[in-house]
């Protein structure tokens, strides 16, 4: 097992069938276990690759390079490295939250590696702007960053942090911070800044791989209009499905609704 695989806790399961390979990429604050409800449905037909993003709770914190992961490109390079290392040909990427966007970035440089990307609760930009509704106001974020900084200070001074998102006013921030606070405080701060500074709206047009955009009807971190925005602006084909689930982690909180939808989008391509 190579370094990349070991560092990312890469696991390959399922049999290699003619239906190809699926890569499952988790979002921030979680790890590959968010896919536990989905995986049993896939292992019969597909080869399934699971991995942890750097900075997730299960990875070695010493490997987290603050410069590399200051932008989402760092994560995209990781994803490409894993695919290279495993010599995976064209695959289906199922990305949750930020990982969906990371997949999109990776697919711009290597479109040959991806047959399609299934995006679950993805957003190219979280901040509201004059002509764009991302769901977060700058004040909300300032509050979030303040909480994270105090958390970080507490951590540096030897006390484990205690602040948690639920104390904050904005419900959207609460939703987001829930996952962010699962990461080590210094990493969480860096990650939060990376996520909220990211603005991928300009590169969406370069994505040529077909994208299936899946979205909870009630996701406080990602408003429904964002999925419409993605649909309008992605360079390749795309399709949107809004599910009746709630929350930013619908594959965990309401698997009954989400898993069948996910499977449908994995099995069938967009009809032309």
Partner 1 sequence: MREIRSPSHVLLASILPLQFDLPFPFRRNPNSFKINTRFHLLRSILPPSSYRSIRSRCGAQSMAAGAAASATHVHDLPEPILAQVFSLVEDVRTRNAMALACRRWRGLERSTRTALALRGHVRLPFLLPTCFPSVAHLDLSFLSPWGHHPFLSSHQQQQHHHDFPDDHAALVAARLAQAFPSVSSLSVYARDPSVIAALAPLWPKLRSARLVRWHQRPPNLPHGADLAPLLEACPALSALDLSQFYCWTEDVPPALHQYPLTAASLTRLDLLCPASNEGYRSSELAVITAACRNLTHLLLPCVFNPRCIEFVGDDDLLALASACPCLSLLHLVDPATLSPARIDSDANEDAAITGSGLEGLFTRLPHLEDLALDLCHNVRDTGPALEALGNKCSKVKSLKLGHFHGVCHGLWQHLDGVSVNGHLESLSIKSSPDLTDSSLATIARGCQRLSRLEIHKCHKVTAAGIKKLASKLRSTLVDVAISGCQLLNATSALRALEPIRDRIERLHIDCIWASSELDQLPVEEEESDPEEDDMEAPDHSRSKRCRYAQANDVESFESASFWFRTWERLRRLSLWIPAGEVLTPLGDAGLECCPQLEDICIKVEGDCRLCPKPRPIVFGLSFLSRYPTLRKMKLDCGEAIGYALTAPAGHMDLSLWERFYLHGIGGLIGLYELDYWPPQDREVNQRSLSLPAVGLLQMCSSLRKLFIHGTAHEHFMRFFLDIPVLRDVQLREDYYPAPENDMSTEMRVDSCSRFESALNDRRIPD
Residues that bind partner 1 (CB under 8 A): 1, 6, 9, 11, 13, 30-33, 35-36, 39, 57-58, 60-61, 154, 158-162, 164, 166, 171, 175, 178-179, 181-184, 220, 246-250, 252-253
Residue 33 or 233 with smaller CB distance to partner 1: 33
Residue 60 or 138 with smaller CB distance to partner 1: 60
Residue 58 or 244 with smaller CB distance to partner 1: 58
Other beta carbons within 10 Å of 18: 6
Q: How far is the CB of 269 from partner 1 (least distance, A)?
A: 27
Q: How far is the CB of 120 from partner 1 (least distance, A)?
A: 13
Torsion of CA 155, 160, 164, 167, to 10 degrees: -90
Q: How far is the CB of 154 from partner 1 (least distance, A)?
A: 8
Q: How far is the CB of 236 from partner 1 (least distance, A)?
A: 30
Residues 8, 96, 97, 123: which is the catalytic one? 97
Residue 116 or 248 with smaller CB distance to partner 1: 248
Q: How many CA atoms lie within 13 A of 213 on its CB side?
A: 25
Instruction: Give the integer Cα–Cα distance in Å for 29 and 19.
Output: 30
Other beta carbons within 10 Å of 95: 25
Instruction: Give yes or no: 219 in active site.
Output: yes
Residues 26, 212, 248, 265: which is the catalytic one? 248
Residues 31, 78, 140, 219: which is the catalytic one? 219
Catalogue the active-site residues: 97, 219, 248
């Amino acid at each position: 097992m190579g370094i990349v695989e070991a560092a990312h806790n890469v696991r390959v399961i399922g049999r290699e069938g003619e239906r190809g390979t699926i890569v499952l990429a988790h979002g921030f604050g979680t790890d590959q276990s968010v896919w536990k409800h989905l995986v049993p449905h896939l292992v019969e037909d597909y080869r399934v690759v699971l991995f942890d993003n750097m900075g997730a709770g299960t990875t070695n914190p010493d490997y987290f390079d603050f410069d590399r992961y200051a932008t989402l490109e760092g994560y995209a390079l990781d994803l490409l490295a894993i695919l290279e290392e495993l010599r995976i040909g064209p695959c289906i990427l199922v990305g949750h939250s930020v990982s969906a966007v990371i997949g999109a970035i990776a697919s711009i440089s290597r479109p040959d590696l991806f047959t399609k990307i299934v995006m679950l609760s993805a957003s190219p930009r979280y901040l509201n702007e004059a002509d764009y509704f991302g769901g977060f106001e700058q004040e909300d974020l300032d509050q979030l960053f303040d909480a994270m900084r105090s958390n970080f200070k507490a951590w540096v001074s030897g006390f484990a942090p205690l602040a948690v998102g639920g104390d904050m006013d904005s419900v959207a921030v609460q939703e987001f911070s829930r996952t962010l606070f699962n990461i080590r405080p210094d990493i969480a701060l860096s990650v939060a800044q990376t996520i909220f500074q990211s603005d991928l709206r300009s590169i969406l047009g370069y994505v040529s791989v077909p994208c299936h955009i899946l979205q909870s009807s009630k996701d406080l971190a990602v408003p429904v209009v964002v999925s419409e925005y993605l649909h309008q602006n992605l360079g390749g084909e795309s399709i949107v499905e809004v599910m009746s689930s709630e929350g930013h982690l619908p594959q965990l909180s309401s698997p009954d609704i989400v898993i069948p939808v996910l499977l449908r989008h994995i099995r069938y391509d967009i009809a032309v």
